[in-house]
A and B are shown apart, each in its own frame.
Chain A
Amino acid sequence: MRSNVTPASTVGGRRASLRRRAALVAAAAIAVGTSLYGLGPGGATASSHREAPLIAADPAADNTDLYAFVSPERAGYVTFIANWIPFEEPNGGPNFYPFATDARYYIKVDNNGDAIEDSTFRFTFTNIDNRGNDTFLYNNGPVTSLDDQNLLFKQVMKVESKFGDGPWVTRATNAPVAPSRVGAASMPDYQKLRDQSVFTFPGGWKGFAGQADDAFFLDLRVFDLLYGGDLSEVGQDTVAGYNVNTIALQVPFKDVALNEDVKRNPVIGVWTTTERKRVRLANGGGSGGWVQVSRLGHPLVNEVVLPAGLKDAFNAIGPVKDAGIPAVVKRVTEPEVPKLIEAIYGIPAPATPRNDLVEIFLTGITTKAGGPIKADLNSQLNNADVNPRKFRPSEMLRLNLSVPVSDNPNRLGVLAGDLQGFPNGRRLADDVLDIELQALEGAAQTGKLVDALAAGDAVDSNDNAFGDKFPYVALPNAVAVNTVGGGTRAGSSDQSGSTDPSQGPATSLGGDSDVMPMAMTFGGVAAGMGAVFLTLWWRRRRSTGRHAKQYENPADLTIPLQQ
């Protein structure tokens, strides 16, 4: 409360008149009979009761990450991994994290470059809720299998697909969803529950949905740049220890490639969306269609390339509209971050317009769009059967299915000569933040990494090791994350080489963790009741990267970009 009060002459005057008024009121009230006056606004009035909440939270619809890569252990199959609901706190008390049953979750593929989906996969969920009205507990005893009667709440998933103008076809129903991991006592063998929720269905398809370790790794404080901060605080994996909800799908190349021919048309573009029912007031509140409320292609596009103001637009529109929004194209061609880096570090920002970024983010790396990066890597324009006149630049993750699985995967992906890596699709261990920072500073165009930013955010790998077969993502963490805000920070501890996330440092129960790292705008689709505008900047956890790193550091700083 401020103390620099400046009493105005009206203050005393107002106080005095208040006293006089009070006396008048008292006198008058006694005199008035009840029959003459009805009191107070009633019924539909009293607008003070009409102040409705303003901040919307929809974590269950919030896309956090998308990965797309050629399956390393299963030739001829592509894997998509899409995550929702960021910052799920392990052991969050009675909270668990179901998928929304009134939303539709999508993975979409464009294989001819017109920015319209050609193969679409839709995932919807149903609750099986046996809790009744007398308990809110998730389970009432140890859960040893997905069929265990002690598991009172679970979900099942339906998978549908649509190809071109064809109809929606149901591919799987009642597929079991891996439950939220609520602790060792309740779920002594979570691996078994995970195994039971990986399923194979016709066409050789594999699917999985359920809670998993958040595979992303980065120090979000890097983006304090945008608010006057600098890159001095790095090295802590902001999302370490948290879980997400994952949907993973593995399908043969032919089900996503143009004309089912991956030899002629190896490049696909991928993005993920969430939809909710549209309510129409003119319809008396009935529903009428669906609205897209979230969308994601490349990671960190909203931090690294576009201003957050366009994030809302992104969430609402499909890729086919991107080229028509001048602000989108402008921001890609004139990004903000390089200017900030130049101001702080003196590293000259590459000359605008940044057509190299247009190649990376909007068309794919190709020689066929007149861009500066002279390589043919991952644009649909490189598909033999594509009509180039129908090609539309749009933001989506582009993957060339014919690039072979790398023997020596490098976390810096294409920039380190590992052509199977980001931005050619995205593997779990690709260090997308470092790659994008380097790309912003022109590394993709010059072929040289920028030394001054070599450390990037100094978070080079995930806190948990990935698996070597589908669905690859680590089991969900089972121990609460450190919290700092309340002064309860545990000392930095590492996991002593263990790869089991449940053996993390014991900590007090964290508070809520309902904020998406990627969205710094409040009120964006970023999740979190009442905390939408916040990121968990204050949450700390020492990067524990002591596990065997899957990918090594780059030794070679030059980048051959020819395929």
Chain B
Amino acid sequence: MSSASSRAVRVTVTVAVAAVALVLVGGIVGRISGPSPVSARAADQATTVDRLEQSITRAQDRLRRVPGDWRTWAGLGMAYLERARVTTDPVWYAKAEDAVRQSLRVHPKGNTEGLTARGALANARHDFGAARTDALAAVTSNQYYSEAYAVLADAETQLGNVKAATAAVQRLLDLRPGLPAYARASYDLELRGRTDQARDLMAQALAAAVDRYDIAFCRTQLGDLAFNAGDLARADLEYTAGLAADPSSITLQRGRARVAAARGRMDQALADYAVITRRAPTPSHLLEYAELSRAAGRDAATPLNLAAAAHELFRANGGIDGLTGAALAWATGDPARALAEARAEWSRRRHVDVADTLAWSLHLSGKDTEALRYARRAHSSGARSAVYAYHLGMIEKSLGSVEPARRHLREALAINPYFSPVDASLARQALTELDSR
């Protein structure tokens, strides 16, 4: 307990340091364009008070009065986790953990809410096995408890247990049709390549949105779905509509920055990323910033260093993330390390992203035959991913399979010609080379 808190203290301090460092070194305060005219629906929700903040305050007041209320302890933990999700500030994980432990201490047996909250915390830390265990215990104690199925669905999805994940999502849909259910159902369909249906369900989720954080989440997913299909105009619309409801949303700002980069507005995109990474210095944001800098011919060292630091913080806070570890290693020219991270992650879970990451790591280590197996596995999973197709195509090229390589590289660019600031042009380059043979 105390070590988690001490880690939390260090995490906070180091994040602050990193953030300051970013400001000093990067120093670019970007101009981010303001939100578009407010639509009636968005305004309805955007003008409401911050319900999450209110919930937290009320829970704290309640618990001062009735400290034995284990349900509210668990609920407070869940609220802290929502706060962590929205702010990306890992300090909330420690608070969540305290509240969850308190709930289970007060009511150790059959505490469905406490188990569910503990499972949600495990998911946030990427300890998907532990999350699954807790979620299963929760549904055993109460098979009608919808939140437990949400936690279970997340864990099974990330573990790569596709059937179990779908079953959990369906159960959630049957118990409590609403935003959490529709959002997870949408992701389930997206992973199977049913992007139109995924979009329809996410639109349903948006219709069930109650506050601006909900709107921001849904608009992000809708925008990302469009972006990943190469539809910049649609993506832009969604991100902009979302920002009208919640201008502070990091995920929406990121979406808009990617659109800017795809349109070639590199200065704008870099400025946006400078702000994003200052506010939310997560490894993935910093890696994307580094990639963008490189694509624009700028120095990527600072964001890379900060990405490594942020990853250390995440791990210091109890998190495990081999995907980020591998990506960092790719970026910093350490293929051996990337392979080790990817293999370790694969041993923990068989999510399709991990297969793809392992494939690429094997490729960078020169192990193309083995890489091909994993790349095919990712590609044939059904998800319409430009990155999977690109990786597969490059591996096939490396192995001399010209026709399949050509096919898959074309596929990647057809799915999304903007799939990566650096790799998209590498894909085009590779195609040119292949076509000239």
Contact = CB atoms under 8 A, between A and B. Distances in A.
Interface of A: 1-2, 4-8, 11, 14, 18, 21-22, 24-26, 28-32, 34-58, 93-95, 102, 131-136, 224, 227-229, 276-282, 284-286, 291, 293, 308-309, 312-313, 315-316, 485, 511-512, 514, 520-523, 525, 528-538
Contacts of A228: 66-68
A279 B142 contact: no
B385 A44 contact: yes
Contacts of B333: 28-29, 31-32, 36-37
A316 B176 CA distance: 9
Return the 3 tightest CB-CB contacts between A and B, nearest first.
A533-B75, A228-B68, A522-B75
B213 A44 contact: no
B237 interface: no
A2 B58 CA distance: 22
Contacts of A18: 309, 312
B426 A38 contact: yes
B96 to A, nearest CB: 12
B130 interface: no
A534 B181 contact: no
A327 to B, nearest CB: 10
B71 interface: yes
A132 B40 contact: yes
Contacts of B180: 52-56
Nearest to B427: A38
Contacts of B217: 52-53
B147 A55 contact: yes
Contact of B301 (A30, A36, A45, A227): A30
A1 B81 contact: no
Most chain A beta carbons < 10 A, residue from B66, B126, B151: B66
B138 to A, nearest CB: 10
Given A51-B124, A533-B74, A534-B58, A285 B189 contact: yes
A27 B208 CA distance: 49
Contacts of A48: 88, 282, 284
28 contacts: A2-B5, A5-B5, A14-B312, A26-B305, A29-B305, A29-B331, A34-B295, A34-B422, A38-B291, A38-B420, A39-B330, A40-B291, A40-B420, A55-B79, A57-B210, A58-B208, A224-B69, A280-B173, A281-B169, A316-B174, A520-B72, A523-B145, A523-B146, A529-B210, A533-B113, A534-B62, A537-B65, A538-B65
Given A93-B48, A94-B48, A533-B74, 17 more contacts: A5-B2, A5-B6, A26-B301, A28-B333, A38-B360, A39-B287, A40-B327, A42-B386, A42-B387, A48-B88, A48-B284, A51-B85, A52-B217, A136-B41, A279-B182, A512-B51, A530-B52
Contacts of A4: 2, 5
B243 interface: no
Interface in B280-308: 282, 284, 287-288, 290-291, 294-295, 300-301, 304-305, 308
B170 interface: yes
Contacts of B145: 309, 312, 523
Contacts of B416: 43
A56 B287 contact: no
Contacts of B353: 41, 44-45, 47
A136 B327 contact: no
A281 B185 contact: yes
B9 A5 contact: yes
Of the candidates A8, A41, A224, A512, the one having the most CB atoms from chain B within 10 angstroms of its own CB is A41
Chain B interface bracket (under 10, 10 to 19, 20 to 34, 35 or more): 35 or more
Interface stretch (B194-202, B268-276, B365-373, B396-404): B194-202
B357 A41 contact: yes
Contact of B78 (A54, A277, A280): A54
Contact of B58 (A8, A46, A293, A531): A531
A179 B213 CA distance: 27
Nearest to B69: A227
- Give the interface SS of chain B, mostly helix, strand, loop or mixed: helix
A30 B304 CA distance: 11
A56 B284 contact: no
A46 B255 CA distance: 13
A37 B330 contact: yes
Contact of B185 (A38, A54, A279): A279
Given A44-B190, A227-B69, A532 B75 contact: yes
Contacts of A312: 142, 144-146, 175
Contacts of A135: 40
Nearest to A53: B180
A39 B327 contact: yes
A279 B177 contact: yes
Interface string B348-366: 0001110011001000100
B183 A52 contact: yes
Nearest to B126: A47
A286 B173 CA distance: 12
A227 B68 contact: yes
A281 B312 CA distance: 38
B231 interface: no
B224 interface: yes
A523 B420 contact: no
A522 to B, nearest CB: 3
A512 B45 CA distance: 12
A313 B112 CA distance: 13
Contact of B332 (A32, A132, A308): A32
Contacts of B308: 21-22, 25
A315 B145 CA distance: 10
